[in-house]
Structure 1
Amino acid sequence: MITILCGEDDFSIHQALVEMKLKFDSLDSGNWIELKAPDVTSDQIIMSCSTISLFGEKRNVIVRGLIGLFDSSKIKLANWQNLLTLLRSLPDSVDLIFVDGTLKASNSFLKEIKDITSIKQFPVLKGSKLSEWVNNKAKHLGLNFRPGDIQFFLKTAGTNLWVLSNELEKLSIYTIGRQVQQKDIVDLVSDQDDSVIFAIFDSIIKSDISRALNIVSKLIQSGGSSISVILTIHRQLRRVVIARDLLKSGVRQNQIGAILKLREYPLKKTLEQLAFFSENDVKRWYSALHEIDNKIKRTDLSSLQALDYFITQLCYKRIS
């Protein structure tokens, strides 16, 4: 079976791949081979499709970025005839998945194989389809938006599905058990990127209190929200704990990203950070988060004061 997943919506393509892996096999299987253009050769793909699987009946091969190369006339189709011949007689024991961006109708490789493939296109979601995606994601997370507030959320958070997914997760942590208010969206949804949170997280791990507080200060001065920082730290701690437990269970690092819906830099940093966390560290961080949550709700302490207190407590306890 040959499948093409293509389009600008790389989040939905990622999700589709995860679902296919769960359906065909399992996320922890050694039965998946992934190859990437432009370095991949015709012979490598042929070899990957021809090798007998040691892990199950199916051989699953993912090839990223290859078909898109043929949008240009500089890539000669004649050099890939051996692969095209194989594709027309691909055995049922092989599932070959091509992953690409938006492909031109004039693409020479696509023209050759479109009659023997299942093509699934993932254009960028807009308008009502984007609103529907947010609504479905919100229901999955147990979020309860007021009528009209999904549009307010989209105006604030933008249209990138990776960002929207992260922001909805933060809202689900903060508003558990109650309806989402517009103030929650204003307070929590920001344009801060993960690198800022990783920097704060790393500074606390290394007990560098001055650097952690300095980053927070600059973030707040540039319009960031202290509540948003607290919840994003909470989310990152949960990622680290899940990643640690998955590794202990024997799940491979390249599969953890699919489970956590992380890739590239965020995945790399999460795997790096988990090495610094013992069971006692996890309990200490969760205890500190619970403590500042109570302080914000039951005292006159502001969220910024609570965040400074949280960072100070963790840094000093780690030193001692």
Structure 2
Amino acid sequence: MPAHVLYGDTFLVPEALNRLKSEAGIDELLDANYHQLQGNQVNPAELISMCGALPFMDSHRLVVVTGLLARQERRTGERRRSGGRSQRGEGGQQTPALGGWEGLQKSIPEMPDTTMLVFIEGAISDSNPLLRLLKPLSKVQALKAPSGEGLARWIKDAAQFKGAKISPTAIKSLGDLVGSDLWTLDRELEKLSLYATGRAIEESDVGELVAQVREGNIFAAVDAMIDGKPGVALRLLHQLRQDGRDISSIIAMVERQLRLMALARDSIERGLPQSEVAKRLGTSSEFVVRKTMDQARRHSWQGIKARYRRLLEADLAIKRGIMEPDLALELLVAEQATAR
């Protein structure tokens, strides 16, 4: 198919685009045949005209459109909240108006074989109206960051790609500390592979070099609580204790993360762009924004409130001397891990 949709993890999507280019033998094109368009700046007529043109002194024309589906998703959400209009789709079903992009349904099958049209996105929902329209017309790849054994394999393969070997304990430690943030994992593996030149990367290397150990620990601990893995969460929080953090500080870190999750959840429902979410969260760190938005998507408002309530109860029990701090922490983790 001449059209593709790549969406999901922001590390995997560019990799998938590079693979598409290599498979088609179009790693290098003249500037006149390589178009990179932003979804908020392109209109249907312009895109359709561009895709219908034959390449100039090249085998292919590559058109990459970024953010169009996410923009359509935000507009659809805004219309729903304001009671906006819909239009009739096939079979008379109500479908959200697509602002002229319905024309792709006719134009994509008519594109010359020399054109490759690629839509690239971050996280979008399966109910995205433009995604639904494009699915039967395009090759769609939903690229989700790996987890569990898949993440361990990814770390091992990424290390090998950099010419390094990594021990199983180092893989587990790195995965626990950073989670499935592939951008951060790639950066840390780059440093670790240089540091351990000539030998395998060990767990001690990870603890010594990984830059975001503490921040990664709190993200990974909250992730473990969410995923129902109290053992992992406790081990990470105890490591923070060993690094000199007291219980009140750890509880404050968890409270901060829950508060950021609530802000992120509200921002997602409002359809705010990532730059605006960063302002609301009070951070310029893409790592913090990506991780917090990922956690927020996996939580309902009821779930966030329930976790907040349990955290408050644990904090009060410690401050009133009702419960010994480490025991309160263990109970908190157990309760958070079973909350839904």
The question of a shared fold, defined as TM-score above 0.5 by the shorter chain, is answered with: yes
* Mapping for residues 242-281 of structure 1, pairs under 5 Å: none
- Matching of residue 56 in structure 1 with residue 77 in structure 2: no
Q: Distance in 2 between matches of 1:5 and 1:66?
A: 12
Please give the alpha-carbon distance, in whole angstroms, between the structure 2 residues aligned to 1:78 and 1:179. Answer: 55
Question: What are the equivalent positions in structure 2 for 1:186-225 lying under 5 Å apart?
Answer: 186-191=207-212
Is 1:182 aligned to residue 217 of structure 2?
no
Which residue is 1:300 aligned to? none
Give the superposition deviation at 1:28.
5.7
Secondary structure at 1:60 match in 2: strand
Is 1:150 aligned with 2:151? no
- Structure 2 residue matching 1:163: 3-state secondary structure: helix
What amino acid is the match of 2:5? I
1:1-320 correspondence to structure 2 within 5 Å: 1-7=2-8, 9-24=9-24, 25-27=26-28, 29-30=30-31, 31-71=33-73, 72=76, 74=79, 76-77=97-98, 79-191=100-212
Shift of 1:115: 1.2
**1 CA distance for matches of 2:49 and 2:161?**
41
In the alignment, the residues of structure 2 paired with residue 102 and residue 186 of structure 1 have an alpha-carbon distance, to the nearest angstrom, of: 31
CA contact (8 A) 1:38 1:66 kept: yes
In the aligned structure 1, how far is the partner of 2:68 from the partner of 2:56?
26
For 1:172 and 1:28, the matched residues in 2 are separated by: 33
What value does the CA root-mean-square deviation take over the aligned residues? 2.6
Q: 1:84 to 1:29 in 2, by over 3 A?
A: same
Contact 1:64 1:99 in 2 (8 A): yes
The one-letter code matched in structure 2 to 1:51 is A
CA deviations over 1:280-318 (Å, ceiling 9, x no partner): xxxxxxxxxxxxxxxxxxxxxxxxxxxxxxxxxxxxxxx
Give CA deviations for 1:235-288 in whole Å, capped at 9, x if unaligned. xxxxxxxxxxxxxxxxxxxxxxxxxxxxxx99xxxxxxxxxxxxxxxxxxxxxx
Which deviates the most, 152-161 or 40-49? 152-161
SS of the residue corresponding to residue 54 of structure 2 reads coil
8 Å CA contact 1:157, 1:190 repeated in 2: no
Q: How much has 1:78 moved relative to structure 2?
A: 5.2
Q: Secondary structure at the residue paired with 2:192? A: helix
Check the 8 A contact 1:157/1:167 in 2, yes or no: no
CA distance in 2: counterparts of 1:41 and 1:78, whole angstroms:
9
1:193-212 CA deviation, whole Å, 9 max, x = no partner?
xxxxxxxxxxxxxxxxxxxx
Give 1:48 shift: 1.8
Aligned residues: 195
Q: Which moved more, 1:155-164 or 1:25-34?
A: 25-34
CA distance in 1, matches of 2:46, 2:176: 45
Structure 1 pair 27/133, CA: closer, same or farther in 2 (3 Å)? Answer: farther
Query: Match of 1:247?
Result: none
The whole-number CA distance in structure 1 between the counterparts of 2:28 and 2:152 is 30
2:3 maps to amino acid: I
Identity of aligned residues (%): 27
Distance 1:126 1:37 in 2: 30
Q: Distance in 2 between matches of 1:96 and 1:80?
A: 14
Cα shift readout 1:31-62 (whole Å, capped 9, x = no counterpart) = 32111111211122112212331141211111
Say which SS state the counterpart of residue 206 (structure 2) adopts. helix
Stretches of structure 1 lacking an aligned partner (at least 5 in a row)? 193-222, 224-264, 267-320
